[in-house]
Amino acid sequence: MLKLAGQLAAFALFALAVGYFSASPQYNYMAADKALIKMNFSHAGQPTQACRKVTQAELDQLAPNMRKPMDCPRERVALLVEVKINGESKFKRAVPPSGIARDGAATVYEKFELAEGTYAVSVAMRDSRREQGYDYIMQKEVSIEAGQVLVIDFEAETGGFKFL
């Protein structure tokens, strides 16, 4: 009888542990009164150097099947991305292109936790060889409530940055 009680207790304890830890305790990874702005996009910057016309002398030194009139280096510039919230710079980074030859798109993924409220959000990006300024800029006043997710996306074909 005592053995049976022991077995029942052991199985009950096992089931209790399985049942409890399968969904408890709750994990709070962000304050409930906070909202989130996510910025995520992939974009390929311009090549680091402009294409150059190959001279006839250079072409003559190449095998016939390698003779391309233009020499276009594959490497692309890093994107310079800056996010300002209420005029304060929250993110400013040179994002390198992907790939061994550094010729792929650069990917940005960043999250900003904010309290509920209205914010002046400014997003800017330089994807060219220029030394100063930005090629794309978006400035917008947004209102966000607790628990809301606002997404900053980028599509060069549709004019640049946008909120989703």
Q: Report the interface residues with other proteins, using CB under 8 A.
A: 3, 6-7, 10-12, 14-15, 17-19, 21-32, 34-36, 38, 40, 42, 98-99, 104-105, 107, 109, 147-149, 151, 153, 164
Residue number with CB closer to other proteins (21 or 64): 21
End-to-end alpha-carbon separation of the chain, Å?
A: 65
Instruction: Provide the minimum distance between the beta carbon of 51 and other proteins in the complex, in angstroms, as a whole number.
Output: 24
Instruction: Provide the minimum distance between the beta carbon of 33 and other proteins in the complex, in angstroms, as a whole number.
Output: 9
Tell me the pairing of strands 106-115 and 52-53. Answer: unpaired
DSSP state of 36: E
Alpha carbon distance 25, 17 (integer Å): 12
| Under 8 Å between Cβ of 113 and 34 | yes
> What tokens does 31 get?
């304050």
Instruction: Provide the minimum distance between the beta carbon of 92 and other proteins in the complex, in angstroms, as a whole number.
Output: 19
Which of 58, 33, 28 has the alpha carbon at shortest distance from 117? 33
Instruction: Provide the minimum distance between the beta carbon of 150 and other proteins in the complex, in angstroms, as a whole number.
Output: 9
Residue number with CB closer to other proteins (24 or 56): 24
> What tokens does 49 get?
């150097």
Q: Which residues contact 57 (CB under 8 A, 6 or more apart)?
A: none
Residue number with CB closer to other proteins (34 or 84): 34
Residue number with CB closer to other proteins (133 or 147): 147
Residue number with CB closer to other proteins (54 or 104): 104
Instruction: Provide the minimum distance between the beta carbon of 107 and other proteins in the complex, in angstroms, as a whole number.
Output: 5
Alpha carbon distance 23, 30 (integer Å): 18
